[in-house]
Amino acid sequence: MSRREKRWIAPAAHCAATLRTRLPWQRGLRREAFVVRRRAAEIAARRLALRAIPAA
Say if 41 falls within a structural domain.
yes
- The whole-number pLDDT of residue 13 equals 56
Say if 40 falls within a structural domain.
yes
Residue-wise pLDDT for 5-22, tens only, equals 666 655 655 555 556 656
Say if 48 falls within a structural domain.
yes
Say if 4 falls within a structural domain.
no
Say if 43 falls within a structural domain.
yes
Residue burial 31-47, b: 16+ Cβ < 10 Å; e: rest: eeeeeeeeeeeeeeeee
Say if 10 falls within a structural domain.
no
User: Above pLDDT 90, what percent of the chain?
Assistant: 23
Structural domains counted in the chain: 1
Q: Which of 18-22, 26-30, 32-36 has the lowest mean pLDDT?
A: 18-22
Say if 1 falls within a structural domain.
no
Say if 34 falls within a structural domain.
yes
Q: Is the pLDDT of residue 2 over 90?
A: no
- The whole-number pLDDT of residue 26 equals 76
How far, in Å, CA of 20 to CA of 3, rounded? 28
